[in-house]
Structure formats: structure tokens, C-alpha cells
A and B are shown apart, each in its own frame.
Chain A
Amino acid sequence: MSNQSYTVIFYIFAAITVCSAAFVVFTRNIIYSAFSLLFTFFGIAALYVFLSADFIAVTQVVVYVGGILVLLLFGVMFTNNIMNPGEKTEVINIIPGVFLLIGVISATLYAFYTDDSWVKTGNLFQGSVVERIGFETMSRYVLPFEMSSILLLAALIGAAFLARFDKTEN
């Protein structure tokens, strides 16, 4: 494929990501916003593929679509008043929100216009990434890996404890 068609496809995926993310925020129906998140996650996975990060793209789909999105959908379906879009939170801070938005956008634009060179890595990695990721996880990043596994184990034990059928009360 030519460079031009890559650009076109990139902008299609970028548009899908941004539009669906905007829909997540702006729609009144929380079921729709949860389903719209699917397209955001997939758009981001596609952008990872464009960066030649296949492994991260697939991990994005596995973790976010297979895990987080399903959890969110279940959570949304178990909440009351899904079909009542008129409900609003009492905490509405429009003025600080606008200030924060202007601050973040101007800081990003300032950084972008004053220092417009992207950070480039010295060595581009060729070939299969999977072996490399496995090797790095088991050697240089073994401590964070083990720590996150302990965290997940603690979460699993906690979930099992919470969901346990209490024998003394029945």
C-alpha cells in the first residue's frame, strides 16, 4: 500500500477513536456510552498497530475489551435508573472545569509549539517483539512484574472473600 492510503486509514481510525470517545462523554444514556467505549478501545488498538506494536495492540483488546469493558457493562446494567437520562449529579463545577480545560490545552499547545521535536529512540527493534518482551519482563523488570502479580493475587483473594457464602449466618 502507498503512503497515502496509510495516511487515510490512520485518519479514519483516529476519527473513530476521537468521535466514539466524545460520544462516551456526551451521551445521556450510560448504556450507550459503555458500548461506545468499545469503538474507542478498538481505535486505540488500531493506532498501536500503526506504531508496529502488535503485542500491545492485542493486549489492549484483551485487557480493555475483554476485561474492563465487560465489567463496566455489567456494572452499568446492575445500576438503577439507566433509562432515566434526566438525572444529574449535584456537584457541578463549571467555572473551575473551564479554567482547568483552558490551562491543560494551553500548556499542551505551548509545549507542542516551542519544542516540536518528538523524542526518538536510538535503536529501532526489528523482528518479533514477543521474545524480547518476555525476556525483559523476566530480567530487568522482574520486580514490578512480581509486585503487580502480588497485587492481583491480593485482589483475587479479596474478591473470593467478599463473594464467599457465609455459613455461620445461614
Chain B
Amino acid sequence: MTLTALSQFSLPFLMGSGLNVWSETLVGFNVWGLPLGLIILAAIPLVFIALYSLTYGVYGERKISAFMQDRLGPMDVGKWGILQTIADILKLIQKEDIVPTSADKFLFVIGPGILFVASFLAYAVLPFSSAFIGANLNVGLYYAIGIVALEVVGILAAGWGSNNKWALYGAVRSVAQIVSYEIPAAIALLCGAMMAGTLDMQQISILQSGEYGFAHFYLFQSPIAWLPFLIYFIASLAEVNRAPFDIPEAESELVAGYFTEYSGMKFAVIFLAEYGSMFMVSAIISVVFLGGWNSPLPNIGSLALNTWTNGPVWGAFWMIMKGFFFIFVQMWLRWTLPRLRVDQLMYLCWKVLTPFAFISFVLTAIWEIYVP
């Protein structure tokens, strides 16, 4: 790296708190004409997914499930079993990469890849902080809803490529579920977009900032907002195949669903994709209804809690904490609720969630036009 290249890149923490400064500095960072900054920009969410699924995702889920079932969970490797995930990863890396002889080799290999890319693509428009967003699109929310569709193709490739009836059943169930639940999810998010009047994720977050903290969040800005919030949360559980909507991988009927035949690192990639999309839907719900990177603490007189806890670094903290909170709720529900049957799943989507999503859509429109 030459000195001129180094001088372009000052520490991002020292550069004010304007909108998107960190990401724009990274975009402008070139080494010998190569856009290295763009690669770093794309790598940051990737590293984030890997780190968070290692620590909070796998270890946290095992510990939370253990405590809910009055067990201890992993305790042997390291203090309280902290190093258990590292040991698991080492084991997965060493495993033989098995491709079944009767499998479709190409689709079997490409399936987990498409799945992971799909869960990772939406991170491009997630505003991690007021100063950091991958790509500040004016159709950000629409992109985030739409790009999930790619996951469906990865699941079908994995399920079909395995040449196993359990895998194919799991894939078909999963696709039917994702495609159906996209509708109430999209309509519920449209309610949030209607309150903001924009699809720009950064703009939606800015519109929810204010000195009273959580009172400015869209969830508390209208008396109907809890309905689309709840609908999107339920639909997002189905979109990421989490319990109680985990019939695509129902272990009592389908062994493991569409990833029955996978082992070693391919299995790890599928798991990483699942944790990636779990954070993605949690981040989307926090941006649209809970203010994204805004601090929820209000200013109380001279105790300016909101002013003290806002800013780019705090923004990243709040964003990730809100995401982690919803992931905790997802894990909590997984160990609380039993799995739905296929017909109950479709009943819930088409006869409960979709009509209520339409009702909340109309009510939000009326509220937005006539009330404030």
C-alpha cells in the first residue's frame, strides 16, 4: 500500500457523524485503481454474519434452549462451554465432503451457495448505523423484500439435487411456505412504508428519530401499527423456516428436510444462511417499526439520555441489539410452541394473516390521510 493510498483512509471514527460517511469513505478508498473499499464494504456484513452466528447464533441458541428446558447445555469445552462452537467448526471442517452417488452433483453443490448468497444479499440495504449502509438505494425496503425470493431457488436446488424424497418434500414445503408468507409480510411492511412515505431504509430510520426516543418509533406512532408489526413478525418466522413454522425440516417426519443429505462444510453454510436470514428479518422489522439505529431512550428534562446515546457508534450498537432481541424472541418461541401442520400453516397464512394485513393496510392508509 502506498502512502497516498494510506492518506485517503483516515480512521472512520474520527470523521464526524454525517449520513453514510463511513460507507462513502470506504467506497472512495482505492488501491492502485482497484476499488478495494467496495470489497471491504461487502465483507463487513459477511464477517458480521460469521461472528454473530458463531457466538450468539449457535452457542446462544444452545444455551437458551438448555436453560428453557432446565438443562445446562454445552459445558465441557472452555469455561461454560464457550469454545464449544469453535470445536464444532473444527470438526465440520475436517469432515469428509460427501456427495451422494445418485445426487445431481451440480445442483447439490450450488444449492447451499445460492442459499447463502440470497440470505446475504439483503444486507446491502440494511442501515447498520447512521454512518454505515452498504448501498443507499431509494428502493431499499422493496429490494430487501424481493431478494428473499432467491432463497427459494437455492432451497429447491438443494432439495432436488439431493435426490432424496425427504429432501424434496422439505424443499417443496419450504418453498410453498416462503412464497405464501411473502404476501402478508410484504403488505405489513407496506404499512410501515406508508407511514414513512419512502422506501429508503436510511430515510425511514431518520424519520423515526427524535428527543423522546421510543415514542417516535412507528410502532408507537399510530394505534394500528402493532397489527402489521405482529403480522410481519409471524410471517418472518415462516420465511426463515423457524419454529413454529419449521415443517420444512420437521425432524419427526422428514429427517432434516431439504438438507438431509448435507454434511461437513456444506451443512455449515446452510446453517450460516439460516442465521443470516434470521438477523436480516430482525433488522428489517427493527428498521421499519422500531427506529433502526435510533436510541429508544427518551430525554427526561436535563437528563438527555437520547442525545447521549445517539451517534454512529451507538447507532450500530442499537441496531445490532434490536436485531439480537428479535433473534432471542425467535429462539424463545422455538422452544415454547409446537410445530404447525401443513394445512394449519396455509390456513394461518391465507385466512388469518392476509385478511388482517389488508385490514391493517386500509386502516393505516386512513390514519395517515386523515389523522395527523
Contacts and interface: CB of A to CB of B under 8 A. Distances in A.
Contacts of A128: 138, 198, 200
Given A66-B152, A130-B199, A1 B35 contact: yes
A54 B147 contact: no
B43 interface: no
B143 A65 contact: no
B82 interface: no
A59 B147 CA distance: 10
B181 interface: no
Interface in B87-121: 104, 106-107, 110, 114
A2 B146 contact: no
A61 B147 contact: yes
Contacts, number: 70
A1 B33 CA distance: 8
A142 interface: no
B150 A65 contact: yes
B150 A61 contact: yes
Interface string B144-166: 01111110110011001000000
A55 to B, nearest CB: 5
Interface in A95-134: 128-130
B175 interface: yes
B160 A54 contact: no
A74 to B, nearest CB: 8
Interface string A1-17: 11001000000000000
27 contacts: A1-B35, A1-B38, A2-B33, A31-B104, A31-B160, A35-B107, A35-B153, A35-B157, A38-B150, A38-B153, A54-B138, A54-B139, A58-B142, A58-B147, A61-B146, A61-B147, A61-B150, A62-B145, A62-B146, A62-B149, A66-B146, A70-B175, A70-B179, A74-B175, A77-B168, A77-B172, A130-B199
Given A61-B149, A70-B156, A130-B138, 11 more contacts: A31-B104, A32-B106, A38-B153, A54-B138, A58-B146, A59-B146, A62-B142, A66-B179, A69-B153, A128-B198, A130-B199
Interface of A: 1-2, 5, 31-32, 35, 38, 54-55, 58-59, 61-62, 65-67, 69-70, 73-74, 77, 128-130
